[in-house]
Amino acid sequence: MSVAIERIGFDVERIRADFPILAERVHGRKLVFLDSAASAQKPRAVIDAMVRTMETRYANVHRGLHWMSERCSDDYEGARDKVAAFLNAAREEIVFVRNATEAINLVAHSYGRTVLQPGDAVVVSEMEHHANLVPWQMLRDSHGIELRIAKITEAGELDFHDLERNFADGRVRLLAITHMSNVLGTYTPVERLAAFAHAYGARILLDGAQAAVHRAVDVRAIDADFYVFSGHKLYGPSGIGVLYGKRELLEAMPPFLGGGDMIRSVSYEKSSWAEPPYRFEAGTPAIIETIGLGAAIDYVNAIGFEAIAAHERSLTDHALAVLSDIDGLHVLGRAQDRGGVVAFTLDGVHAHDVATLLDKQGIAVRAGHHCAEPLTRRLGQDSTARASFGVYTTHGEIDALVSGLRRVKQVFG
């Protein structure tokens, strides 16, 4: 594996040098940051793009006739072009929101309350993040749709038989499903799922909050109707996320939030709406953050997803191998196709104690239900510990995790 990585020129030490925070020490130890799935660290290029905007090219966008506003609007709209290219979409199909959560809520409100009718069904899976479950529960309770939960197999993959059962009565109008589970690491077969949903006359929304960080995403090749992700997990700033929607879907959708910038014309009596994507961007947008996201996309593109995916596969394989050597450690999920996220339990030690004791050694992992409480319970747990990897993660850090866990076991001995 490492040969393959070298071949495509992946130099993890050079990458690490791009992330200032990785030089920090925690409790006197070198920081080993294994919590990138919650939010990734930011490279110098992203920080610089934001600083440059604030220091040299900042003003409110779109309506300004002066130099600063024009330059800042160019940068902001330039980021939209970058995101469009990143997903292989058209720029009119890219709506900027705060995060993946807001993107799903936007679809639930705007598409959900107009195209979906009371009695129609929405299907999600057992392995959704709360962001792709709670908005549909809220839509169910306010709008009378039915919400169905497609099962996963014991391996932690989607159960296609159960999916078929859920679709059998022809009432499903939307399949809203993760592209990669933030607990099990499972990738879902999105092309197949899109074809499946479309064959039943349903639309598909993909929660790419995790997947978009690790793999090249081509919404046209997938034939996704909606795709969402968050900037902060993709080495970009917080406060910026993306909703992709097929042009004809966005065009037919009413606005979600009302205010400046999303209108065509306003009178006291009545307003008419701008075209997508502006129809869905009310008020002053997250200008600096959007430009930062553009820089993040440039950054990952410069490394290249082939290299990123190979690096993360190698890390994950290594982690699964060395963690399985620890007595009493159980990894959740054993999907064939999985990404750089490993959740586990340790017999006799609560996940919180694992996380705290690792932190004392400078190792940052997450513990809890990872905003997937029903899945965690479905797996028979209250909470689990989770290590997750980014472009800057090294094999040595995974070995540090293993030593750290042995130390935890000693304390609990």
Partner 1 sequence: MQDVASIEDLYQNLIMERARAPCHAGSLAAFDAEAEGDNPMCGDRVHVRIRRDRNRIGALSHETRGCAICISAADLMGDAVIGKSQDEIGELADAFETMIATGNTPDRPDFADLRALSGVHTYRSRHRCATLPWQALRAALGKTEHRHG
Ligand X SMILES: Cc1ncc(COP(=O)(O)O)c(C=O)c1O
**Minimum separation from the CB atom of position 280 to partner 1 (A):** 17
Nearest-approach distance from CB 409 to partner 1, in angstroms: 12
Angle at 338 between CA 336 and CA 341, to 5 degrees: 145
Q: Is the dihedral of CA 295, 296, 302, 304 positive or negative?
A: negative
In the list partner 1, ligand X, a second copy, none, the entry touching 407 (Cβ below 5 to 8 angstroms by class) is: partner 1
Tell me which of 7, 27, 161, 192 binds partner 1, using CB under 8 A.
27
Helix (H) or strand (E) holding 230: strand 226-230
Closest to a second copy by CB, 38 vs 309, is: 38
Residue closer to a second copy (CB basis): 69 or 153: 69
3-state SS assignment for residue 116: coil
- Let me know: does 386 contact 342? Beta carbons within 8 Å: yes
Q: CA distances (Å), 201 to each of 101, 104, 194, 196, 243, in order?
A: 25, 20, 10, 9, 22
Smallest distance, Å, CB 11 to ligand X?
A: 28
The three-class DSSP label of residue 34 is coil
| 3-state SS class at 216 | coil
What residues are annotated to the active site? 371
Q: What is the DSSP string of 291-305?
A: HHHHHHHHHHHHH-H
Q: What are phi and psi of 364, to 5 degrees?
A: -95, 110
Task: In whole angstroms, give the CA distance from residue 94 to residue 117.
Answer: 26
For residue 341, what are its two tokens? 């996220």
Q: Give CA–CA dist 18/34, Å, rounded.
A: 17
* Shortest distance, position 142 Cβ to a second copy, whole Å: 8
Cα–Cα distance for residue pair 105/87, rounded to 1 Å: 20
What is the x/- site pattern for partner 1, positions 336-375, by CB under 8 A? -------------xxxxx--xx-xxx-----xxx------
Least Cβ distance, residue 201 to partner 1 (angstroms)? 36
Contacts of 258 (CB under 8 A, 6+ apart): 271, 282
Please say which residue, 224 or 375, places its beta carbon nearer to partner 1. 375
287 binds partner 1 (CB under 8 A): no
Judged by beta carbon, residue 24 or residue 317, the one nearer a second copy is 24
Residues 380-409 binding partner 1 (CB under 8 A) are: 382-383, 407
Q: Is 92 in the site for partner 1 (CB under 8 A)?
A: no
Judge whether 132 and 104 are in contact, CB under 8 Å. yes
AA identity, residue 15 = I
Closest CB to partner 1 among residues 12, 22: 22
User: Which of the choices a second copy, ligand X, partner 1, none does residue 210 contact, using the CB cut-off of 5 to 8 A by kind?
Assistant: ligand X
- In the complex, the smallest distance separating the C-beta of residue 59 from partner 1, rounded to whole angstroms, is 11
Q: Out of ligand X, a second copy, partner 1, none, which partner does residue 365 contact, by CB within 5 to 8 A per kind?
A: a second copy
Query: Of 299 and 344, which CB lies nearer to partner 1 in the complex structure?
Result: 344
Binding residues (CB under 8 A) for partner 1: these are 26-29, 63-65, 67, 69-70, 73-74, 263-265, 349-353, 356-357, 359-361, 367-369, 382-383, 407, 411-412
